[in-house]
Amino acid sequence: MHSEHPKIRQFFPLVTESLAKGLTALSNEDYSYESPAIEVYAQEVFSRVSEIDNAFKNMSIAIEYLKKTDHPGSGYSFSEHHAFHIENFLLRLTGVVDRSYLLAGSTMLMENSKIEKLGGKRTVNKELQSFSPCSVEILKRMEGAIDHLRTPRNKVAHQAGFSSKNLSVLQTIENSESDSISVRQITEIMSYEKIKDVVIEESVDQFDAVIPIMDGLVEELIDSLSFVYDGLLKMHITSQGTRTQ
């Protein structure tokens, strides 16, 4: 979990203080409350990292289901389940990149209205060029790591759905009468169960391998931005010490 990264975990006390104030206000039916800027910042950064973690969690769940050979009790076919979880994985994968850009933008104190809208990634990238060139390079490597999956991802995003040659073969078998000539011709070459095994192996090998790569790049991104977190917290601690003197 990237929220456990030491440079992110150091924000925990500030995030806790901010949340406590919010809950106190809510319990008093007060829907507005004030927190110091550093607490607001800490909560924003922590939320961005949590969003990235959530995307990784959902990718791992998708992989778990992609390894299943059947779905007992379901009214949907194996190929329908499999395609659904592939589509979910692809969308979550690009979500990691998108949310990493948002983390960089929030780290630089950029307004959400600017970085969350269409074209926000370009806006973040432009600001990041001078702010942290190292971070720009890491985000570029992130984009490159999933470039081979961009075409199927774009098809899914535009409602075309995921398809592959072997998955189409399974769909043909599932949608035909079990004793039809077309089904017999296919299953005489390779059984339905064997084709399922091939489809599963094909999906898991392709998608599972990208998770640790992306995980490591997110770790690198946080490291590259940590000079900001350390600097702000140092200033906060210094100001707190000055006030108590």
**pLDDT tens track for 189-198:** 778 888 889 9
**pLDDT tens track for 152-169:** 888 787 766 777 788 888
Mean pLDDT over residues 115-138, rounded?
Answer: 95
pLDDT surpassing 90 at residue 123: yes
pLDDT surpassing 90 at residue 179: no
pTM as predicted: 0.86
pLDDT surpassing 80 at residue 28: no
**One-character DSSP codes across the chain:** -GGGSHHHHTTHHHHHHHHHHHHHHHHTT-------HHHHHHHHHHHHHHHHHHHHHHHHHHHHHHT-S--TT-SS-HHHHHHHHHHHHHHHHHHHHHHHHHHHHHHTT--HHHHSSTTHHHHHHHHHHHH-HHHHHHHHHHHHHTGGGHHHHHHHHTT-----HHHHHHHHHHHS-TT-HHHHHHHHHS-HHHHHHHHHHHHHHHHHTHHHHHHHHHHHHHHHHHHHHHHHHHHHHHHHHHHH-
